[in-house]
Amino acid sequence: MGTLEERIIKSETHIFKAVFPSTTNHYDTLFGGTALHLMDEVAFICATRFSRKKVVTISTGQIDFKKAIPAGTLIELVAKVDSVGRTSCKIHVDIFMEQMYSELRETVVSGTFSFVAVDENKKPTPILDDLE
């Protein structure tokens, strides 16, 4: 399966979305809860790709909303393994906002999500057991 570093690199996960009016609030910007939902989803995919185990979200770290995300923009969510424990891992997620018709791209939201690997009885289990 490779070294820890190789697994971390291979598990980096990217998701692109268009911000449509159906996902915005009365200010015509992306709902904060929708951003959190998308961040948790991409973090879950990254943690699963990293561990190839069943994982569950156990906590979030600080989430920083640096700028509102208006309707009519594109976002890219990028999740990377930040640290690994015996049964858990921490995933860092950035949301980048792009204008549809220009090259402008900036980081607008950042945060961390922690996951624990669970066995068939939903008990914590080692997150990695097959490193070379």
DSSP state of 104: -
SS (H, E, C) 15-45: EEEECCHHHECCCCEECHHHHHHHHHHHHHH
Domain boundaries, the chain: 2-115
Cross-strand bridge partners of residue 117: 55
Contact 50, 11 (CB under 8 A): yes
- Per CATH, the homologous superfamily of domain 2-115 is Hotdog Thioesterase (3.10.129.10)
Average pLDDT over all residues of the chain: 95
Taking only the tens place, the pLDDT of each residue in 65-111 is 999 999 999 999 999 999 999 999 999 999 999 999 999 999 999 99
Instruction: Record the tokens describing residue 104, joined without a space.
Output: 């402008």
Q: CB neighbours (10 Å) of residue 61? A: 15
Q: Which helix (H) or strand (E) holds 112?
A: strand 105-117
Q: Is the pTM here over 0.75, yes or no?
A: yes
Distance CA 51, CA 74 (A): 29
